[in-house]
Amino acid sequence: MDDSLSIASLFPNLFKTTKPITVGSNALIISASLLHLDEAQMLPIVLGLDEKIDPSTRIKMYATLGGYSVLSAIMKTDPKNYLKLLWRPCQEFPSWVGSVKYSDVLDDLLKVFDLTRFGDAAVEGNGTIPALVTLQDILQLYKNDTIKSTLSVSEIGTERVEISPDGSLTDALRMMFESRVRRVFLSSERRNSISFISSRNIIRFLFSPERLEIVKEYPERWLNAKLSDIDPSEAKIIADGKIVNQAASEIGDRVDDCLACENANKVVTRWDIIMKPWKTGNYLFAGIPED
């Protein structure tokens, strides 16, 4: 791939971007507040855990705190021990993200995303703490036509996983883990509105002041909730024939934002917009726009 696609040239201000950081010894109940902020596009780096080399990919991995790993730990915990779980150090629930060098090219970064199945990666520069780059950063390259693709949203979309609005919170979590997705869509006859519950919606709900009061008094009841108790998110509907660059402009900037195909029963996420053209080779580098 062309040297002009280096991470440093594409994201010259990457190391100036404020990144969330948490100390590994902090209790989960404290650090989890970073996981449901809409403005926090990246996972918080966990200080206190050394980086490691993944034995299968040989990629250097950095510890972050991710909602998926926290929810996984909750699901594996005996309900009577939920309160104890909340006061355990957050470094016990790491999500390991891959890393690249600032001098590496975009193709190297996307390979790390693909191998780790994470849309976040650490970028090593001259400092001791790496920068973080996310799918949202790369999305901007499609928004400003630095990268172009002719694929349609119906070609890159992923089948929606649906659940009844009458289902329980634990039903939704089981479905997410079984289907390896981060959002489940609420089945409905309505065509003009498509709602979903994401892992971030659930984290926000569980770590709300009201639910934390419940877990203090009645730990076993912490997860006892219907999906109707949780504020859902809305997917923006997009015409099936629109192309990747149009989808990048329409998807929105909130972490949970996604698109729903107007006719096909598919969802289009940032992962779809960025990784599907790269995986199929249907993308073209058009050049870095002048400031």
Which residues pair with residue 99 across a beta bridge?
122
Do the domain assignments include residue 238? Answer: yes
What is the model's pTM?
Answer: 0.92
Nearest Cα neighbor of 176 from 73, 68, 64 is 68
Residue 278 and residue 227 in one domain: yes
Nearest Cα neighbor of 216 from 90, 35, 87 is 87
Percentage above 90 pLDDT, the chain: 83
Domains contained in the chain, number: 2
Please tell me the predicted confidence (pLDDT) of residue 234.
95
Residue 119 and residue 168 in one domain: no
Range of the domain at 262: 153-285
Task: Give tens-digit pLDDT for 110-141.
Answer: 999 999 999 999 999 988 889 999 999 999 99
* Spatial distance between the Cα atoms of 182 and 179, rounded to a whole number of angstroms: 9
Phi and psi at 122, nearest 5°, equal: -85, 145
Residue 93 and residue 56 in one domain: yes
Please tell me the predicted confidence (pLDDT) of residue 2.
52
Residue 4 has pLDDT above 60, yes or no: no
Token look-up 């891959």 returns 98
Do the domain assignments include residue 290? Answer: no
Residue 198 and residue 229 in one domain: yes
* Spatial distance between the Cα atoms of 248 and 8, rounded to a whole number of angstroms: 22
Please tell me the predicted confidence (pLDDT) of residue 20.
85
Which residues 6+ apart lie within 8 Å of 172 measured at CB? Answer: 163, 184, 197, 202, 227
